[in-house]
Structure 1
Amino acid sequence: MWREIRPDERFEIDVDGHRVVAYSFGTGSETVFCLNGGPGLPCDYLREAHSCLIDKGYRVVAFDQLGTGASDRPDDLTLWTIGRYVEETETVRKALGLGKVHMLGHSWGGWLAIEYALTYPENLKTLTLEDTVADMPHLILELERLRAALGPETVAMMQKHEAQGTYNHPEYLAAVTILNYRHVCRLPEWPAPVRRSLDDWNMAPYETMQGPNEFLYIGNLKDWNRIPDLPRVTLPVLITTGEHDELTPACALRMKLALPNAELKVFANASHMPFYENPQDYYPALLDFLARHEAG
């Protein structure tokens, strides 16, 4: 089960003239390399949820992506592209001498992990895609379905504010808050690492790549779709999702059907963060998958 653990090592890595900070836990020969969601979030929420894997003999590595956490925050919107983040991820892996890793990507980190796996498949033993998608246009349709549950008047109100660009209007924010508690984290009190990441959110990468909130995709990834390319990812893949996930089980199934060597776990009573919402089911599923593929 997750708990707050101090990293054993902290690294500062040069990525094209910018400083990126990485964290390492444990000394195991098998490395779980974590790519957190956002974009624009510090890695705290995912790092704290997975550093406990050291109890099972794994080394766990996470990093604050450029623009987040302790890493540099350059004021240059052209930096916020998925291709640049793929190269940043590879730079971190090489700088730390990680060799072949078990890559684990959550949410936006899953999109990044898919791009990485298509670019550098030789560096991976396994791929874990958590609460993520590979087809953004399909996700946008699914988000419309989730929004529709709020009722036609509320949806019309949201569409009005989106057309006007008034994303900070109280009634619009209230609707987004309801959706967040239904589909992002269903716990009455969100865990401290989640709050810490959210409180330090850099909205510049997020708005550039995704949009103003979790339920409106208008950034540079709005047309991203890697489903046609997933048959090239032949390594073992674990796909996880919550039954109430904003990145829905239908999106997860779409990935599973396209991947030649994938398994899918849907966690009950959970949305976008099963590692916090349903840890008693999440950790056994992840550990079983990793144990079966330790040799790569």
Structure 2
Amino acid sequence: MWREIVADERVEVEVDGFTVVAYLFGTGDETVFCLNGGPGLPSDYLRDAHSCLVDHGYRVVAFDQLGTGASDRPEDAGLWTIGRYVEETETVRRRLGLGRVHLLGHSWGGWLAIDYALKYRENLKTLILEDTVADMPHLVSELERLRAALGSETVAMMQKHEAAGTIDHPEYLAAITILNYRHVCRLPEWPAPVRRSLDDWNMGPYVTMQGPNEFLYTGNLKDWNRIPDLPGLDVPVLITVGEHDELTPACAMRMKNALPNAELRVFRNSSHMPFYENPQDYYAALTDFLARHRSS
């Protein structure tokens, strides 16, 4: 089960003239390389949820992506592209000498992991896609369905504020808060690592790449779709999703159907963070998958 663990090493990695900070746990021969969500979030919430894998003999590595956490925070919006983050991920893997890894991507980190895997398949032992999607237009249609559950008047109110550019209005923010507690984390008190990440959110990368909130996609990834490319990705894949996830089980199934060697686990009583909401089922599924794909 998750717990907060102090990293064994904190390493600064130079990436194209900037400094990116990585965190290393354990000394196992098998490395779980974590790509957290956001964009713009520091790695705390995912790092603290997975460093406990050291108990199973794995080395766990996470890093604060450029613009987040302890890493440099340039303000050039031209840096916030998925292609640049793919190369950043490869630079960190190579500079740390990680070799072939179990690549674990959560949410936006899953989009990043997919693009990384399509370019650097040879560096992967497995791919773990958590609470994520491979088809943004399909996700947008799913988000509209989740929004519709608030009722037609509330949806009309949200659309009015989005059209008028007044998404900071209290009634709009109240609707987003309800959606967050239904579909992002259903716990009455969000865990401390989640709060730390959210309190240090850099909205620059987030707005540029995704949009102003979790339920409105207007950024440079709004048309991103890798479903046509997934049939050629033959690495073993574990897909996980919460039954109430904002990145819905339908999105997860769309990935599974496109991948040649994938398995899917849906976790009850959880949404976008099953590792906190339903840790018993989540860790059992993750450690079972990793154990079946250890190098002999």
**TM-score, normalisation: structure 2:** 1.00
Q: Give the equivalent residue in structure 1 for 2:94.
A: 94
How far off its partner does 1:295 sit?
Answer: 1.4
Task: State the alpha-carbon separation in 2 of the partners of residues 295 and 163 from structure 1.
Answer: 53
- The Cα shift of 1:117 comes to 0.2
Q: Give the SS at the match of 1:190.
A: coil
Give the deviation of 1:185 after TM superposition.
0.1
Structure 1 stretch displaced more, 158-167 or 263-272? 158-167
**Structure 2 letter corresponding to 1:162:** E
Q: 1: CA distance between counterparts of 2:157 and 2:79?
A: 33
| Partner residue in 2 for 1:162 | 162
1:114-193 matches, cutoff 5 A: 114-193=114-193
Residue deviations 1:22-71, cap 9 Å, x none?
A: 00000000000000000000000000000000000000000000000000
2:279 aligns with: 279
Superposed CA offset, 1:227-246 (max 9, x none): 00001110100000000000
Structure 2 runs not aligned, ≥5 long? none
CA positional deviation for 1:248: 0.1
User: 1:207 matched to which residue of 2?
Assistant: 207
Q: Which residue of 2 aligns with 1:28?
A: 28
Q: CA deviation at 1:161?
A: 0.6
Aligned partners of 1:205 and 1:95: how far apart in 2? Answer: 24
Aligned residue identity for 1:117: A
Question: Per the alignment, in what secondary structure is the counterpart of residue 168 of structure 1?
Answer: coil
Counterparts of 1:168 and 1:24, CA distance in 2: 38
| Aligned-pair identity (%) | 83
Which residues in structure 2 correspond to 1:1-296 (within 5 Å)? 1-295=1-295
Tell me, in whole angstroms, the C-alpha distance in 2 between the residues paired with 1:243 and 1:130. Answer: 12
CA drift at 1:166 = 1.1
Which amino acid in the other structure matches residue 61 of structure 2?
Answer: V
List structure 1 runs of 4+ shifted beyond 2 angstroms: none
Q: Distance in 1 between matches of 2:74 and 2:9?
A: 25
Cα RMSD after superposing both structures: 0.5
Q: Distance in 2 between matches of 1:231 and 1:159?
A: 36
Q: Which amino acid aligns with 2:97?
A: G
Give, in whole Å, the separation in 1 of the partners of 2:207 and 2:75. 13
